[in-house]
Amino acid sequence: MTAYDSTPFLLRLSVRAADARVELAASTLLDKIRHKLSISDLPLPLPIDQWIETPLGFDFAIVGDDQLDPEVLGLARPTLNQILIHESLLEHEGRFRFTCAHELGHCILHKSVAEELSDAELPRSGKISAIEHEADRFASSLLMPLSTLAQQLAKVMRDHQLNNSCVELLRGDDVRTVWLWRRCILPALCDTYGVSRAAMAYRFRELRLPGQRRILKPSMISLMVAPEKTLADLPLDRIIVRDGIPVLEE
Ligand SMILES: [Zn+2]
């Protein structure tokens, strides 16, 4: 199975074969939700915390230290269809949403793996187990549906008067690449999908253009997730859009 976006924009995005099973599980769940709610378009950001209970029917609770160990922010009991989220995450919309979707991923994908799975801060960086990687991929696919991403990306490009020839710049590694992602795409899409900048950057790192070409180089990820102040040395404020592409003003 390969999940393709078929919107008329220039960018056709897909996932790698290795990620197709989890991508399909997330898109099947979204289809089920749309069917149960009788809606054709997905509202963005997805109200996943509401949907976990209705229409999905999971036992969902936001709890304090009395019910979760101090370092645990999310917990899934797949065989009981139960999800607990720590109340401290309510102050961080992106992390709250991602943790809810990640625990939902455990409940859907990992019924036969463990009776209980718990998580600290998500999304994690560095090496993680295959089970945790799958739950992260599921959360990412669910919250940033492939069927909507190319269209939303196209809208951002239009809003900044950027044209198709920017695709190669998106894939590049110069200062204009940083400008495109950090100044245009990531702020707008994080707002649209209600996810953190790291979650959005990781999503694009996994996506592919036709020919299995990457849309975002893994070597650029550290610049994508770096705090704003670490970009101060880059001449991002001298970049302007001319004839549909960003150029560095002399
Ligand atoms: Zn987990």
pLDDT for res 10: 62
pTM for the structure as a whole = 0.92
From the CA of 95, how far away is ligand 1's center (Å)? 13
Ligand 1 centroid to Cα of residue 84, in Å, is 12
What would the pLDDT profile of 96-135 be if each residue is shown by its tens digit?
999 999 999 999 999 999 999 999 877 776 678 899 999 9
**DSSP code, position 126:** S
Average per-residue pLDDT for the chain: 92
Please list, in sequence order, all residues whose beta carbon lies within 8 angstroms of the beta carbon of residue 221, skipping any fewer than 6 positions away.
201, 202, 205
Side-chain half-sphere CA neighbours of 59 within 13 A: 8
Helices H / strands E in the chain, number of each: 10, 9
Neighbour tally for 79: CB within 10 Å: 13
Contact 86, 66 (CB under 8 A): no
Q: Which pLDDT does position 127 carry in this prediction?
A: 74
- Supply φ then ψ for residue 173, to 5 degrees: -145, 25
**Ion ligand 1 nearby residues (CB, 5 A):** 119, 132, 135
Q: Which domains does the chain have, with CATH numbers?
A: 47-143 (3.30.2010), 146-248 (no CATH)
Query: Which segments in the chain show pLDDT lower than 50?
Result: 1-9
CB 52 within 8 A of CB 106: no
Q: How far is the CA of 103 from the centre of ligand 1 (A)?
A: 6
How far is 102 from 85, CA to CA, in rounded Å? Answer: 11
Q: What is the per-residue pLDDT across 49-81, written as a single tens digit (0 to 9) for each? A: 999 999 999 999 999 999 998 889 999 999 999
CA of 18 to the centre of ligand 1 (A): 19
* Distance from Cα 142 to the centre of ligand 1, integer Å: 15
Alpha carbons 72 and 54: distance in angstroms, whole number: 25
